[in-house]
Amino acid sequence: MKKLFTVGQVCKCCGVSRSTILRMENRGLLSPARVDENTGYRYYDIYNVTKILHIQMFLNMGLTYDDAYSYYTSNGKSPELLAALESRLALLTRAYEEMKLRMDDKQNLRLEIIKLPEYVCYQKEFKGASWSEKYRDMYNLFGEVVEKGYRPLLSERLFVIHNNDWSEKENTYICCVPLEPSCADESTVFYPSCTAFSVMCYGNYKAISKAHAEFDEKLRALGLKPAGCKRGIGIVSGYTGKEFSQEKYVSRLVVPIEDLSDEDIDRLSRSGLIKNR
């Protein structure tokens, strides 16, 4: 006879409340191994316990009960859940890389091939020369987003598209604020997902300017072909966190590139520029 456990034992083992177990049952995620016909008491077996722990793992990862249900009903092969996990993995990886650069506390560059997600953006074109002007224009544009009632996309950062070059001489540039997809209307612009060459750098704006030259040099050396204008993505900058001094800024410079061949992917993987193949 298989061993059964009371709801109290299961709650203590799994670190959950009785209401949490009932919630899982109501959502079709869990069925007691036995329900006493006379008392209505529920009893659970080892499989119930391990499933509760597994569901709790999903919840601790930031997923939902619906995500867990999708996982089990699809026999563990849910495309929607995989996409959600990939999105969260990308966010965690970026947060880790940002903090690692700052913890090292030295001028540093991190080169890699990344996948940029699709964006719906509120944007405007400006003309200027200095970083302070770009800062001002982005700050004011973000203020317009707030006034218009748009919802900025939490997972993505503000970015600047440079139409000409990165030098500190007067040129045109586009300031972009990624928005929640539901905000798309006639005043927003859509950017499709694309592969991009990226450099993440740590330090003040002078460090970022120096990174531009190394970025272009490496792009040419790797034989990568640009497929769009360069973007400067502020990860932690003045318009997102006044608590950080300019010496602690972390920024990402990217340029969309043409699709890579299988040979390119193998070559770049060996060099460490493509990860998690």
Residue 50, both tokens: 């391990």
For the chain, give every domain's residue range: 5-77, 105-270
Q: What is the mean pLDDT of each run of 10 residues along the chain (277 residues)?
A: 88 94 95 93 94 93 90 89 82 76 68 86 89 84 92 84 66 90 92 88 70 80 87 60 64 86 82 64
Half-sphere exposure of 15 (CA within 13 A, CB side): 6
Q: Which pLDDT score, from 0 to 100, does residue 24 have?
A: 95
Quote the crossing angle between the two packed helices 79-104 and 65-73, to the nearest 10°: 130
DSSP 196: E
Q: Does the domain at residues 105-270 carry the CATH identifier 3.20.80.10?
A: yes
Quote the crossing angle between the two packed helices 7-14 and 18-26, to the nearest 10°: 100
Measured in degrees and rounded to the nearest 5, phi and psi for residue 8 equal -65, -40
Half-sphere exposure of 225 (CA within 13 A, CB side): 6
Nearest to 227 by CA among 198, 252, 260, 255: 255
Quickly list DSSP for 126-144.
EEESSHHHHHHHHHHHHHH
Residue 128, both tokens: 């200027």
Q: Which residues contact 122 (CB under 8 A, 6 or more apart)?
A: 141, 144, 145, 148, 150, 176, 177, 179, 183, 187, 188, 189
Q: Which fold has domain 5-77?
A: Multidrug-efflux Transporter Regulator; Chain: A; Domain 2 (1.10.1660)
The predicted model scores a pTM of 0.69
Quote the crossing angle between the two packed helices 46-60 and 7-14, to the nearest 10°: 40
